[in-house]
Amino acid sequence: MVAGIVVQADDWEIAVKLAQFIGVVVFGLIIHGSVVLPLIYLLRVRRNPYAFMKDIFPAIKTAFVTPSSSASNTNRNGTVIYDVVAAVFIAQIHHIDWDLGTLIMIALTSAVPSTGGTGTPATGAVAVFFILTVVNVPANEACLLVLVHYLLERCNAVINVLGDCIGVAL
Instruction: Print the domain residue range for 19.
Output: 2-169
Dist CA 60 CA 58 (whole Å): 5
* Domains contained in the chain, number: 1
State pTM to two decimals. Answer: 0.84
CA 77 centroid distance within chain: 8
Directed axis angle between helix 100-117 and helix 123-134, to 10°? 140
pLDDT in tens, 30-76: 999 999 999 999 999 999 999 999 999 999 998 888 866 565 566 67
pLDDT in tens, 88-127: 898 888 888 888 988 888 888 887 766 655 455 566 667 7
- The CATH number assigned to the domain holding 28 equals 1.10.3860.10
